[in-house]
């Protein structure tokens, strides 16, 4: 890059900028921030440490590093996070999409593509409860072009971001402002998915690290066991599922057993939990089968 004379003082090579950043923040975070800022890959940055940044890039990078040093998540600084191979816009109003949530997407795709929902309704109707940034709903809509995807959230700020992501990525999703099922009078789906808040009220993680900067209502349901939102979702699901439809949701690392019990208690069949990349059961699902005639 060519710096004008006045910028000279601010100019640095990629290697110098990364070295300076690493004295303040995590090494990989520094690489992600500079990659995001310059539009290069981390591999490129590491291979071309001798190249100059422009004065403007160096100054902007210094600002981003300072923000990260105060704890602001990398995704919020860059305003985006990759999920299932696509870039999603994020801000402080939405949960930052997590890699483990891609497991839920994979499982949902397998159910629909594998015709595991009883095929009474074509095209399949999918509902995402508490869509946040729209990462799940938009991904499902793009991966399942035949499906009719509906996504709801109680936060208008979140819905704005989700809608923006759907538009930018070319996904057709119907958005509804709703507190869980409340605004859905009578509508039924073949698949209901959710990544609900499941952190317990007094979990110390809520006041640590990146979680401090995310919307609390996306992280915790303020209940003692973190299962209130999941109880609401499971309890209401049967009224909103077609026969043969599935409910599938993400939960905390130690909640799988209680989630399966809850599904069993509400008459779900084929109940199963699926582990995340760390081997922790992270997604649990069950199928709504018609009640046999007595
Ligand atoms: N998995 C997230 C975390 O522990 C929580 C996301 C959620 O509550 N849905 O950081």
Task: Tell me the per-residue pLDDT of 282-292, one tens digit each, with 9 for 90 and over.
Answer: 999 999 998 77
> Rounded mean pLDDT of 199-222?
96
Separation CA 206–CA 157 (nearest Å): 21
Q: How many CA atoms lie within 13 A of 166 on its CB side?
A: 23
DSSP 8-state code for residue 160? H
User: What atom of ligand 1 comes closest to residue 197's alpha carbon?
Assistant: 8
Examine the pLDDT at 13 and tell me if it is beyond 60: yes
Residues 188 and 241 sit within 8 Å (Cβ to Cβ) = yes
| Cβ count near 102 (within 10 Å) | 18
| The model's pTM | 0.93
User: What atom of ligand 1 comes closest to residue 250's alpha carbon?
Assistant: 9
Residues 177 and 159 sit within 8 Å (Cβ to Cβ) = yes
User: What atom of ligand 1 comes closest to residue 226's alpha carbon?
Assistant: 8
Q: Which of 128, 153, 219 to mutate to test the pocket of ligand 1 (most atoms within 8 A of CB)?
A: 219
Q: Confidence band (pLDDT; 50, 70, 90) for 4?
A: very low
Q: Confidence band (pLDDT; 50, 70, 90) for 119?
A: low
Task: Tell me the per-residue pLDDT of 79-102, one tens digit each, with 9 for 90 and over.
Answer: 999 999 999 999 999 999 999 999
Q: Confidence band (pLDDT; 50, 70, 90) for 277?
A: confident
User: What atom of ligand 1 comes closest to residue 198's alpha carbon?
Assistant: 8
Provide the pLDDT for residue 115: 79
Q: Which residues contact 112 (CB under 8 A, 6 or more apart)?
A: 124, 126, 140, 144, 147, 190, 191
Helix residue spans in the chain (DSSP H): 14-22, 27-38, 42-47, 55-69, 74-78, 101-113, 135-143, 156-169, 216-219, 228-237, 256-265
Examine the pLDDT at 197 and tell me if it is beyond 50: yes
How confident is the prediction for the chain on average, in pLDDT? 94
Examine the pLDDT at 2 and tell me if it is beyond 60: no
Helix residue spans in 70-100 (DSSP H): 74-78
The percent of residues in the chain predicted with pLDDT above 90, rounded, is: 90
Separation CA 162–CA 226 (nearest Å): 25
Examine the pLDDT at 9 and tell me if it is beyond 70: no
- Cα torsion for 132, 113, 250, 29, to the nearest 10°? -60
Examine the pLDDT at 10 and tell me if it is beyond 80: no
Q: Which of 94, 97, 98, 204 to mutate to test the pocket of ligand 1 (most atoms within 8 A of CB)?
A: 98
Burial of 85: CB neighbours in 10 Å, binned 0-12, 13-18, 19+: exposed
Provide the pLDDT for residue 185: 84
Query: In this predicted model, which residue has the larger pLDDT, 117 or 230?
Result: 230
Ligand 1 site residues (CB inside 6 A) read 95, 98, 195, 197-199, 211, 219, 250
């Amino acid at each position: 890059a060519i710096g004008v004379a006045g910028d000279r003082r601010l100019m640095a090579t990629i290697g110098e900028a990364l070295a300076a950043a690493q004295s303040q923040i995590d090494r990989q975070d520094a690489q992600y921030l500079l990659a995001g800022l310059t539009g290069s890959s981390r591999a490129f940055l590491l291979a071309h440490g001798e190249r100059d940044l422009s004065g403007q890039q160096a100054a902007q990078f210094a600002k981003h590093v300072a923000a990260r040093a105060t704890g602001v998540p990398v995704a919020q600084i860059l305003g985006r996070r990759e999920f299932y191979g696509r870039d999603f816009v994020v801000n402080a109003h939405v949960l930052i999409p997590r890699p483990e949530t891609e497991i839920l997407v994979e499982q949902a795709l397998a159910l629909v593509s594998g015709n595991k929902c009883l095929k009474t309704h074509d095209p399949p109707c999918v509902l995402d409860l508490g869509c946040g940034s729209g990462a799940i709903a938009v991904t499902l809509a793009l991966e399942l072009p035949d499906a009719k995807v509906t996504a709801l959230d109680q936060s208008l700020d979140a819905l704005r971001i989700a809608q923006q992501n759907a538009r930018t990525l070319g996904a057709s999703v119907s958005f509804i402002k709703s507190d869980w099922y409340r605004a859905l009078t009578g509508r039924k789906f073949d698949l209901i998915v959710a990544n609900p808040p499941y952190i317990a009220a007094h979990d110390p993680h809520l006041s640590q690290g990146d979680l401090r900067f995310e919307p609390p209502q996306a992280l915790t349901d303020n209940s003692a066991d973190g299962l209130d939102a999941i109880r609401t979702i499971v309890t209401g699901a049967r009224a909103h599922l077609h026969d043969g439809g599935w409910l599938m949701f993400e939960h905390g690392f130690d909640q799988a057993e209680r989630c399966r019990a809850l599904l069993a208690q509400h008459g779900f069949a084929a109940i199963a939990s699926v582990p995340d990349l760390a081997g922790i059961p992270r997604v649990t699902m069950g199928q709504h089968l018609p009640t046999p005639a007595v």
